[in-house]
Amino acid sequence: MSEYDGFAPIYDAWSADMTEDVGFYVELATEADGPVVELAVGTGRVAIPIAERTGKPVVGIDSSPAMLQVARERAATAGIHLELRQSDMRDLALDEPAALVICPFRSLLHLPTWYDRRRVFERVAANLRPGGRFAWNAFVFDFSIAADLHGRWQEEPVRHRIDQVPADNRIDIMLESGPRISLWWVSRGEWEGLLDVAGLETEALYGWFDRRPFDEESREFVWVARKPVG
Ligand SMILES: C[S@@+](CC[C@H](N)C(=O)[O-])C[C@H]1O[C@@H](n2cnc3c(N)ncnc32)[C@H](O)[C@@H]1O
């Protein structure tokens, strides 16, 4: 069981507004010279278009059996093969080093502590080919958005409530039907620290999937890092 199992039935509606990332990750996969791995693959929203459009082997890792079941059914319907593994991204261990590891839709924010995040970055670095890339996106924490949403029930896309827990830099999202997930927001300096301890280099930091530069107005980190060659 995973706290995300309860989101599987409503995940299409939940993610409906996030579409601009798919082309960005497909483009990176097209450039990858070898296997592509998606951490926290969910229902295959990004992994399936990557497999369809690039024909490359795609490994998807997720801790939620219910999310993976949706991905399995979707891949079968699309007639493509995804290697789906139920596992925790903190334990990433690939049979073959990847050319590209991605973690779309803010999924790294589900890791509660610095230790958890550092472990994922180190596992990614250990499982990338020299010159391989690690790309992910995460929101930039904005106190005014947080204050506006705090403690409110919202109807769209499904009835849910968001609570901020500043002492733990945490945001709890609860569906009316019961399931609850948490996100721990991460600052730019922390992302840079994670890259540093894992021995990865920043190739680009964008402010959105159209590759506009990251600046003071940005509300999304869109990060492309690289494992140095040699
Ligand atoms: C927001 S969804 C993203 C799914 C997919 N990547 C997408 O872009 O639509 C977050 C996913 O992260 C998974 N997840 C959360 N913590 C995880 C962990 N520690 N290891 C593996 N998967 C995890 C959840 O089960 C869920 O499927």
Q: What CATH number does residue 98 fall under?
A: 3.40.50.150
pLDDT of residue 77: 97
Per-chain mean pLDDT for the chain = 96
- Measured in Å, residue 230 CA sits from the centre of ligand 1 at 32
Atom of ligand 1 nearest to the CA of 106: 1
- The answer to whether the pTM exceeds 0.75 is yes
Which residue from 14, 63, 86, 136 has its CB within 8 A of the most atoms of ligand 1, so it is best to mutate? 63
Report whether pLDDT(137) > 90.
yes
- Measured in Å, residue 7 CA sits from the centre of ligand 1 at 11
In the chain, what percentage of residues exceed pLDDT 70? 100
- The ligand 1 site (C-beta within 6 Å) comprises 2, 4, 15, 40-42, 45-46, 61-64, 67, 88-90, 104-105, 107, 110
In SS3 terms, the chain reads as CCCCHHHHHHHHHHCCCCCHHHHHHHHHHHHCCCCEEEECCCCCCCHHHHHHHHCCCEEEEECCHHHHHHHHHHHHHHCCCCEEEECCHHHCCCCCCEEEEEECCCHHHHCCCHHHHHHHHHHHHHCEEEEEEEEEEEECCCHHHHHHHCCEEECCCCCEEEEEEHHHCEEEEEECCCCEEEEECCCHHHHHHHHHHHCCEEEEEECCCCCCECCCCCCEEEEEEECCCC
pLDDT digits (tens, 9 = 90+) for 12-34: 999 999 999 999 999 999 999 99
Which residue from 107, 124, 183 has its CB within 8 A of the most atoms of ligand 1, so it is best to mutate? 107
Within a domain: residue 174? Answer: no
pLDDT of residue 165: 96
Please count the structural domains in the chain: 1
- Measured in Å, residue 135 CA sits from the centre of ligand 1 at 15
pLDDT digits (tens, 9 = 90+) for 52-108: 999 999 999 999 999 999 999 999 999 999 999 999 999 999 999 999 999 999 999
Domain that holds residue 115: 5-140+186-226
Among protein residues, the one with the nearest Cα to ligand 1's atom 11 is 40
pLDDT of residue 10: 92
Report whether pLDDT(1) > 90.
no
Within a domain: residue 71? Answer: yes
pLDDT of residue 129: 98
Report whether pLDDT(200) > 80.
yes
What residues form DSSP beta bridges with 138?
A: 221
- Measured in Å, residue 191 CA sits from the centre of ligand 1 at 18
Among protein residues, the one with the nearest Cα to ligand 1's atom 20 is 88
pLDDT of residue 177: 87
Atom of ligand 1 nearest to the CA of 67: 27
Within a domain: residue 163? Answer: no
Within a domain: residue 150? Answer: no
- Measured in Å, residue 55 CA sits from the centre of ligand 1 at 23
Within a domain: residue 197? Answer: yes
> Average of pLDDT values for 148-171?
95
Report whether pLDDT(230) > 90.
no
